[in-house]
Amino acid sequence: MDAELVAMQLFSGVALGAILIMVALGLSIIFGMLGVVNFAHGALFMVGAYAGLWVASLTGSFWWGLLVAPVAIGLFGMAIERVLIRPLYRRSVDDPLLLTFGLGYVLVEAVRILFGSDGIPFPTPPELAGVADLGIGFFPIYRLFVVGVVAAVLILVWLCLEKTRFGLIVRAGARDPLIMRVLGVDIARVWLLVFGLGVGLTALGGVLAAPMRNVNPEMGSLVLAEAFVVTVIGGMGSLVGAVVAGLLVGVAISMTALFAPEMATIVMFALMALVLLVRPQGLFGKPGRA
């Protein structure tokens, strides 16, 4: 096996991992703050991809799709939080989970009605087509672009959480929402924004992933399982955990695809089982949480 092929496959794994990071990060932020596991997260990833496709075909430009779809789906996420999830905060943690599962079911079917059940190809934008020679091999420009965007978004999210007043409130609210309320913070509004942010991130992941695979109504269901695996490995509520586990899973999938293709879909679950045995709270999770 020559080194160039391995390097290229490694890089594919990083690009795949970058998408997973976007999805898992949104899931993790929502859970860390609201204590809600969003089972519609995969479906919203898929809706994001379709929204990107739709906007791109209306405007004739991928860039508008990339820009508008995550924001629009993020706003849609805020509407979901406001109307469907907010009434459930006083109830058992299982209720929002069940509700979002039902919502995912509805969203998939709604997309089937609007766009049909078959996959739709999403062309790579012409500016990003082709390959780049990085000295150690040829890499698809689009995947380099995806990794770049995800890195930039990660830095933005990190800055927002660590350096702004909003981030301070989010972090404090994750620890003790009651005290925040006592201090006069309108925590409901923060939750609304956080849910929108998490959904927007997964929608961005969907748009970014679309040119790398076909867009189809089922694309979210695999992503949801993958995001769960990443979250369990990394530890719920940890930004670093999501990044490390996302890359780990992405690389593990692409490397097994190279050396043992029939194991590629199975390997990440084996990794998760291993982590559960050794460290049930995940690599970067706090013991009390798991």
Partner 1 sequence: MTLSAQSLDAAPRPLRARLAARRVPLSILALSLLPWILPSEALAVNVLVYGLVAVGYNLLFGYTGLLSFGHAAFFGTGAYVTGIAIGRFDAPLFAALAFGVAAGGALAFVIGLLSIRTRGIYFSMVTLALSQLVYYIALQASSWTGGENGLRGFTVSELNLFGWTVDFLDPVEKYYVIMAFTAAALWFVSRILNSPFGSVIEAIRENETRARACGYDVERTKLISFTLSGLICALAGTLFALHLAIVPLDILHYHTSGMIVMMTLLGGAGSFFGPFVGAFAFLLMEDVVSLWTPHWQIVVGSVFILFVLFLPKGIWGTLMAWRAGR
Label residue 164 exposed, middle or buried (CB < 10 Å: 0-12, 13-18, 19+). Answer: exposed
Nearer to partner 1, 9 or 265 (CB): 265
Using CA atoms, how far residue 211 sits from 50, 120, 143, 160, in Å, is 11, 10, 10, 29
CB of 65 to partner 1, least distance (A): 25
CB of 35 to partner 1, least distance (A): 8
CB of 287 to partner 1, least distance (A): 11
CB of 242 to partner 1, least distance (A): 14
Binding site for partner 1 (CB under 8 A): 31, 35, 37, 84, 87-88, 91, 93-95, 97-99, 101-103, 105-106, 108-110, 112-113, 221, 225, 228-229, 231-232, 236, 262-263, 265-266, 269-270, 272-273, 276-277, 280, 290
For residue 32, the surrounding DSSP H or E stretch is helix 3-34
Nearer to partner 1, 35 or 125 (CB): 35
CB of 1 to partner 1, least distance (A): 22
DSSP helix/strand/coil, 60: coil
CB of 69 to partner 1, least distance (A): 22
DSSP 169-209: HHHHHHH-HHHHHHTT--HHHHHHHHHHHHHHHHHHHHHHH
Nearer to partner 1, 102 or 148 (CB): 102
Nearer to partner 1, 190 or 236 (CB): 236
What lies within 8 Å, CB to CB, of 124 at 6+ separation is 142, 211
CA 188, 191, 192, 193 torsion-angle sign: positive
Orientation of helix 41-59 relative to helix 219-234, angle to 10°: 130
Cα separation, 39 vs 183, in Å, equals 32
CB of 134 to partner 1, least distance (A): 33
- According to DSSP, the residues that pair with 131 across neighbouring strands are 140
Nearer to partner 1, 155 or 273 (CB): 273
Nearer to partner 1, 58 or 260 (CB): 260
Nearer to partner 1, 152 or 266 (CB): 266
Using CA atoms, how far residue 102 sits from 92, 107, 235, in Å, is 16, 9, 25
